[in-house]
Amino acid sequence: MKQITKYIIRRVILYLLSLWLSISFGFFIFRILPGNPVYAFVATLSRYGHGAGQDIEKILDSYLEVFGLKQDLWTQYANFWKELILRGNLGPSIINFPNSSMGLILRSLPWSMGLLGISILLSWILGNIIGAFLAWKKDARIDKIGSTISLGLSPFPYYIMALMLMLTVFYLTGTIMYGAYNPKLSIGLSLEFILSVITYGSLPAVSIVISETAGWIISMRSLLVPILGEDYLTFAEAKGLEKRRIFSAYALRNAILPQITYLGMTLGSIMSGSILVETIFNYPGIGKLFQSALSLLDYNTIMGCLVVVMFTVLTANLLIDLLLPLIDPRIRYEGQ
């Protein structure tokens, strides 16, 4: 029990340290980029006739105060963590002023969670099932065909796959669906709205699933084929165990464990890839919000998106680290 406690404490400390470093790195990187978002924001207001005839210096000074940019960099950094930890506040958003950045993120988060959650889970399940089947049929014609297709599809980035699917659908139907649902419908739990969400989300989801599934197929097959030649499987077969039972209870069980670990590691690439996918389909998720915030250097919204991504990726990896010794008896806490 003492060893388990030490293991958990070490992992949690590393998790918190990684979270702090990654968010801090993002904070300083975006702050030192050239340009001041407030100047661009005030210029936009002036272009539309807001603030005309007023002292521009006073307007700039007022907005610098509102966005917390009057203090030096280290004071801004300290205020950022204080507001985030104590109040869950990121400050106002430039892209939707005067609404808060946290409000924008909370509205966008469910869309990304639904799209990515379903896509990740579906691609992982399909990839492992198909990869295991191809390994079982090793050197057969279906294995060669499936492996070749997977190798051909796996290098395609999500956004390239999304563009290809969009052009294909446009060529076949003459229409392109943007957004997350039919804008003529009101948000609710009606069957019509739910079907609209599924329809509009199908293309961005499929673009992610195709690329991810191909990678999981290759990974599972490459893990399983060497295991099928191990001596302990030959011994189990010599004892009279059925081949299907040997495959599922011994070989597949050992091959699936690295796949579980790798699942947490791939979340980062999927989250970053979804930015372009959501932008292409104008899908109102975190990725699209991040792209919009980045175009205007909206510091508060950028940092909110970064916090969500880093928290999601690192928390997933922490949970896998904590649960893997329970899944695999060969892994011991004291060995970590």
pLDDT at position 219: 87
Report the largest interatomic distance among the alpha carbons of the chain, rounded to a whole angstrom. 92
Query: 3 in helix, strand or coil?
Result: helix
Q: Give phi and psi for 100, each to the nearest 5.
A: -75, 150
pLDDT at position 273: 59
User: Does pTM top 0.75 for this prediction?
Assistant: yes
Q: Which residue type does 325 have?
A: P
- Domains along the chain? 110-298 (1.10.3720.10)
Q: Quick one: which of 153, 147, 148 has its CA closest to 130?
A: 147
Q: Which residues of the chain have pLDDT under 70?
A: 1, 35-36, 39-57, 59, 63, 229-237, 239-242, 246, 248-250, 265, 267-273, 325-336
pLDDT at position 52: 47
Interval 55-81: pLDDT, tens: 666 767 776 777 777 778 888 888 889
pLDDT at position 40: 66
Query: Within a 10 A sphere around the Cβ of 37, how many other Cβ atoms?
Result: 21
Q: Quick one: which of 57, 68, 48, 47 has its CA closest to 298?
A: 68
